[in-house]
Amino acid sequence: MGEIAKQLRLPYPTVRHWCVDRPERKRRGTELRCFRCREDVDNPADPGAYAYLLGLYLDDGHLVTSARVPVLGIYCSNAWPDLIDACETAMKAVLAGSTQRIQQKGCVSVQSYGKHWPCLLPQHGPGKKHERPIVLAGWQREIVTAHPGEFLRGLFHSDGARFANRVRVRGKEYVYPRYLFSNKSADILGLCQWALDLLGVAWRRNRPDSLSVARRAAVAALDRHVGPKS
């Protein structure tokens, strides 16, 4: 290396730095768990958990990228403690090393700091979701196509509901279970419709910003994937 340095008229430490093999940069923190940034990993370790978390995020999630470390927050009602636990479990399965719960009026914000959340949730951006396009990336569509039930579970756990619908026909009252999903974003509503179609679940638009699943077979099918909140 000394001879090479003389020929190139460069300092010996510079040539040595070029020639000596250096260990590969060690991946740390969420970079190690980010399947989008690793050449040896193509999919999330738990794609079902990712599909569920994506559904939660599209409805009640917010990703702040202006801070030094991005922070993902999912807002869960205090009325559904199991939902809060499920959200936290999904975050940890997908990327988070740790989470925290921030109590707010009527809800809990489940939060996770991580530089690589923007890699996994490219739908983040300025402004409200219903005021900008929401389109899944190709790799996200592949995951949801393989796990539509988990994706729908996330959507319905955020902006959906299962309840007893009561109708009166010719003086007689009938009660039957029904699902409703509402969202101001036409794109997110369309994603819900697409996932329902993947499962063969019949639905109809009952309002411009809402859809209904009411047929007995369709409700039974959705029960197997979503079920009531708790």
Give tens-digit pLDDT for 70-107. 999 999 999 889 999 999 999 999 999 999 999 988 89
Range of the domain at 44: 32-225
pLDDT value of residue 25: 44
- Any domain includes 185: yes
Domain total of the chain: 1
Distances from the Cα of 79 to the Cα of 9, 15, 153, angstroms: 73, 65, 17
Residues ≥6 apart with Cβ < 8 Å to 182: 159, 160, 207, 209, 210, 211
pLDDT value of residue 26: 45
- Any domain includes 59: yes
This prediction's pTM: 0.84
- Any domain includes 205: yes
- Any domain includes 81: yes
Low-confidence ranges of the chain (pLDDT < 50): 22-27
pLDDT value of residue 75: 95
pLDDT value of residue 85: 95
pLDDT value of residue 172: 78
- Any domain includes 80: yes
- Any domain includes 27: no
- Any domain includes 26: no
What count of other Cβ atoms lies within 10 Å of the Cβ of residue 220? Answer: 11
Give the CATH number, domain containing residue 104. 3.10.28.10
Q: Of how many residues is the chain composed? A: 230
pLDDT value of residue 14: 66
- Any domain includes 221: yes
